[in-house]
Amino acid sequence: MAGVVDAGLAQEPRLLHSSETDDERQDFYLATIDKWNFENRTGPEFSQEGRGEYILEEVPLTPEALNAVNLLPQEIAAVLREAVEHGELFAAK
């Protein structure tokens, strides 16, 4: 099953992690995206001031590659690294 998003076409998205505060919930998904146009992205994370930058960068799913980039938020970076280290995520071959 494919999900259509404004910036790309996600193949088989699955929820990796959810994070909640008193006023916000963030869901983090993993998916394969074969084609994307990052200029077409939309949503509150791109329009709210003070949210920082969202930069698209392709990173291999290895502990070394993940440790070499500044993934934010730190909570999701830790979840992603743990999943890779425990063999729950694999890089595409």
Give the model confidence (pLDDT) of 67-82 as tens digits: 899 887 888 889 989 9
Q: How far apart are CA 6 and CA 4, in angstroms?
A: 7
Cβ(89)–Cβ(83) below 8 Å? yes
Q: Across all residues in the chain, what is the average pLDDT?
A: 78
What is the Cα–Cα distance from 73 to 53, expressed in whole angstroms? 12
Distance separating alpha carbons of residues 65 and 70, to the nearest angstrom: 10
Torsion, CA 89, CA 75, CA 6, CA 43, rounded to 10: 170
Residues 28 and 43 both lie in one domain: yes
Looking at the structure, do residues 84 and 39 belong to the same domain, yes or no? no
> Does 33 lie in the same domain as 11?
yes
Range of the domain at 63: 57-93
Count of domains forming the chain: 2
Measured in degrees and rounded to the nearest 5, phi and psi for residue 33 equal -125, 115
Asked if residue 70 and residue 26 are part of one domain, the reply reads no
**pTM exceeding the 0.85 threshold for the entire prediction:** no
Share of the chain above pLDDT 90, in %: 2
Contact 61, 84 (CB under 8 A): yes
Q: Which residue has the higher pLDDT, 22 or 48?
A: 22
What are φ and ψ of residue 23, in 5° steps?
A: -120, 5
